[in-house]
């Protein structure tokens, strides 16, 4: 797991004091825009064209007021953008040839954490993007939900709820990412096991503008509250132990069900397999 201290966000990863080159007493240098590549670890996938256009107009009038953060690419030349993609896009739209930048060396993990933390602190990510980024922190950096929450300034239940959103079907996640559903509605939809019913309700809310409260959706789920609470407690305990998503489905009539443990690649699967073997052998 990464050894970055928790609870301080960007202050841990970007100590900007005394970082500027000697030739740049203002703390940054102007960099050719075309030499900067977008960050492959950027958690934000959606950018509002109107926001970019508005920022581009501001840049034309006042310039770029805050430098972007970039990392050198020694093997291929140029730079990788670490933080400030919206500013970079707007600067290009404004016709700028150069952009003020702070140049700093980052390892791959640091780069991903900086990009995520910047977006979280600016509240730039939608719930689906944030859930995917949190899942990546858990998987690649082997951070527990408590550690991720402490790093991002969120509670453990908040982290768990974000991860649960990834279990939604693609179409419902698109509704959520676009703002046609709120998080409460999306979580309530997870409680509806009938996929057709769940998709129909999501479409009614998102596309038809039907007003439906979280309470309305919870009633549709038709699950006894106490059973739900017990299952959630077990799921959360397993997720805490395994540092990944766990889903339990229980059929009260048949007294049977199944447990699903999420993994994203073979290495992650083998890691989970080792953890489970150690737990069983104790």
Which DSSP category does 2 fall into? Answer: -
Count of structural domains, the chain: 1
How does pLDDT run along the chain (282 residues), one tens digit per residue? 444 343 444 444 444 333 433 333 345 889 999 999 887 767 676 777 888 899 899 999 888 888 988 988 887 889 989 888 889 999 999 999 999 999 988 777 777 777 777 767 666 678 998 898 888 888 877 888 888 888 788 888 999 999 999 999 999 999 998 889 989 889 988 888 788 888 888 988 887 666 677 777 777 665 544 456 778 888 888 888 888 888 887 776 677 888 888 888 888 888 888 888 877 776
Residues 145 and 243 sit within 8 Å (Cβ to Cβ): yes
Q: Residue 2: what pLDDT?
A: 42
Task: Write the CB contacts of 160 (distance below 8 Å, at least 6 apart in sequence).
Answer: 145, 236, 239
Rounded CA-CA distance 72/75 in Å is: 9
Strand partners, 29: 101
pTM of the predicted protein model? 0.53
CA distance 176 to 118: 21
* Domain membership flag for residue 162: no
Give me the active site residues, please.
85
Please check whether residue 204 lies inside any domain of the structure: no
Q: How far apart are CA 183 and CA 175, in angstroms?
A: 11
Residue 49 confidence (pLDDT): 86
Q: Which two tokens stand for residue 274?
A: 């080792």
| Separation CA 122–CA 168 (nearest Å) | 25
Q: What is the pLDDT of residue 9?
A: 47
Indicate whether 55 belongs to any domain: yes
Could you tell me whether strands 68-72 and 98-103 are parallel, antiparallel, or unpaired per DSSP bridges?
Answer: parallel
Q: Burial-class residue 198 by CB neighbours within 10 Å (0-12, 13-18, 19+).
A: buried
Residue written as token pair 């489970």: 276
Asked whether the beta carbons of 239 and 145 are under 8 A apart, the reply is yes
16: tokens are 């900007």
Domain ranges, residue 36: 10-20+27-118
- Examine residue 111 and state whether it is found in any structural domain, yes or no: yes
Domain presence at residue 54? yes
Backbone angles phi, psi at 193, to 5 degrees: -75, -30
| CB-based contacts of 8, cutoff 8 Å, min separation 6 | none
CB atoms within 10 A of CB 260: 11
Question: What single-letter DSSP state applies at residue 268?
Answer: H
> Does residue 44 lie in a domain region?
yes
Residue 281 lies in a domain: no
Task: Tell me if 263 is assigned to some domain.
Answer: no
Q: Which tokens go with 250? A: 């229980």
Tell me, what CATH number does 100's domain have? 3.90.1530.10
Q: List C-alpha distances in Å: 195 to 87, 104, 206.
A: 41, 48, 16
**The pLDDT of residue 282:** 64
Six-digit token string for 115: 């990009």
Model pLDDT, residue 117: 76
How many CB atoms lie under 10 A from the CB of residue 231? Answer: 16
**Cα–Cα dist 2/16, whole Å:** 21
Give the H/E segment covering residue 171. helix 170-177
């Amino acid at each position: 797991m990464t050894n970055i201290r928790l609870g301080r966000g960007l202050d841990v990863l970007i100590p900007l004091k005394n970082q500027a080159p000697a030739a740049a007493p203002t703390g940054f240098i102007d960099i050719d825009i075309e030499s900067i590549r977008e960050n492959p670890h950027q958690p934000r996938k959606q950018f509002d064209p109107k926001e970019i256009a508005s920022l581009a107009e501001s840049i034309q009038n006042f310039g770029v007021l805050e430098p972007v953060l970039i990392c050198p690419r020694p093997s291929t030349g140029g730079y990788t953008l670490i933080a400030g993609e919206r500013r970079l896009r707007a600067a290009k739209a404004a016709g700028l040839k150069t952009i003020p930048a702070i140049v700093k060396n980052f390892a791959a993990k640091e780069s991903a954490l900086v990009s995520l933390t910047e977006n979280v602190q600016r509240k730039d990510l939608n719930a689906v993007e944030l859930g995917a980024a949190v899942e990546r922190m858990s998987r690649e950096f082997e951070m527990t939900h408590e550690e991720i929450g402490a790093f991002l300034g969120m509670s453990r239940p908040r982290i768990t709820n974000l991860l649960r959103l990834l279990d939604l079907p693609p179409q419902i996640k698109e509704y959520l990412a676009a703002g046609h559903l709120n998080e409460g509605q999306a979580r309530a939809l997870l409680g509806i096991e009938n996929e057709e019913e769940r998709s129909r309700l999501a479409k009614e809310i998102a596309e038809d503008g039907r007003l439906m409260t979280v309470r309305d959706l919870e009633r549709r789920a038709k699950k006894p509250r106490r059973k739900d609470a017990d299952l959630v407690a077990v799921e959360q305990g397993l997720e805490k132990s395994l540092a990944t998503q766990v889903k339990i489905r229980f059929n009260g009539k048949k007294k049977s069900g199944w447990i699903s443990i999420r993994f994203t690649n073979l290495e992650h699967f083998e890691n989970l397999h080792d953890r489970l073997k150690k737990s069983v052998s104790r």
